[in-house]
Amino acid sequence: MAPENFTRVTEFILTGVSDSPKLQLPLFLVFLVLYVLTMAGNLGIITLASVDSRLQTPMYFFLRHLAIINLGNSTVIAPKMLINFLVKKKTTSFYECATQLGGFLFFIVSEVIMLALMAYDRYVAICNPLLYLVVVSRRLCFLLVSLTYLYGFSTAIVVSSCVFSMSYCSSNVINHFYCDNVPLLALSCSDTYLPETVVFVSAATNVVGSLIIVLVSYFNIALSILKIGSSEGRKKAFSTCASHMMAVTIFYGTLLFMYVQPRSNHSLDTDKMASVFYTLVIPMLNPLIYSLRNKDVKSALQRFMTNQCYPLKQCHFKLYR
């Protein structure tokens, strides 16, 4: 059938998390709380890791950028999602949809690489503590983070360009709460073999490659911890690694579930629920898992609050003298 017999799509309609009218307000409140907690937690980590002199180490440098990525990922998705809970017409323009997909891909790919870098950082710190600051130098940290963002940006441009180079000329209803490549390609009236292949290869390469780095790093960490003579020391080290591995397992598990499978096996409704985890839930949990259970961060927060309160106490004292 000739392309001119179709009406080209200029906007899309997002179905959202649920199409039940009774659930719109409760879901709005739930996801608003999630987003506010995500903002507060990640902004807190960014602030503490930036201003506290005792957190100027490679570990907290990578953690600060992970918080920036988590904040960006949630911000690309959550505001539009929250607005759609309150309006009847849940539309998004063609270019707005393309921008959202590109932003999402940039942050999600950057997060995958950043988690691998953090695992490698922990591997060097635990397995080679005497050479830690030599191997993971400040220059290397800046280089690795810069390459992470560059790679994330390149991937976002390539994949989103492939997805939006297709013709969308029939249904414009996206069965999702944001513009994602799988539900978008399901609407295309073109041959989607090329973009599907690009999406699959890119997702499989990024997820599996970074996961191998994470697993190898933590395997060597486990071997080093087992050599620690103190049982209390082993318990403390294993507890820290278990918290990190829990977050990594949830993150990589949802990504593997979402993308590294053929399109024929996809259930879009199930994928929609899984997407909530790595777009909203995991960015909210990461500050807790990676930082707020950490004594260094707790001490930094206490010092920060003390420094903020001290000028106020001085001002209050002068007013009442």
* Over residues 70-76, mean pLDDT: 95
Q: Model confidence at 235, in pLDDT bands (50, 70, 90)?
A: confident
Please tell me the predicted confidence (pLDDT) of residue 7.
59
pLDDT value at 84 more than 60: yes
Please tell me the predicted confidence (pLDDT) of residue 317.
44
β-pairing verdict for 11-14 and 91-93? antiparallel
* Over residues 68-96, mean pLDDT: 93
pLDDT value at 314 more than 60: no
Please tell me the predicted confidence (pLDDT) of residue 3.
46
DSSP assignment of 80-120 equals HHHHHHH-S--EEEHHHHHHHHHHHHHHHHHHHHHHHHHHH
The pLDDT mean for the chain works out to 84
* Over residues 45-51, mean pLDDT: 88
* Residues 6+ positions from 316 with CB-CB distance below 8 Å: none
Reported CATH class of domain 11-293? mainly alpha
Query: Would you list the domain boundaries of the chain?
Result: 11-293
* Over residues 262-267, mean pLDDT: 58
Instruction: Please say whether the beta carbons of 54 and 296 come within 8 A.
Output: yes
* Local structure of 13: helix, strand or coil: strand
Please tell me the predicted confidence (pLDDT) of residue 2.
45
pTM of the model: 0.88
Please tell me the predicted confidence (pLDDT) of residue 320.
46
Please tell me the predicted confidence (pLDDT) of residue 239.
65
| Element containing residue 91 per DSSP (H, E) | strand 91-93
* Over residues 201-209, mean pLDDT: 89
* Over residues 129-135, mean pLDDT: 85
In the block, residue with structure tokens 């003390």: 306
Measure the CA dihedral 102/160/151/42, to 10°: 20
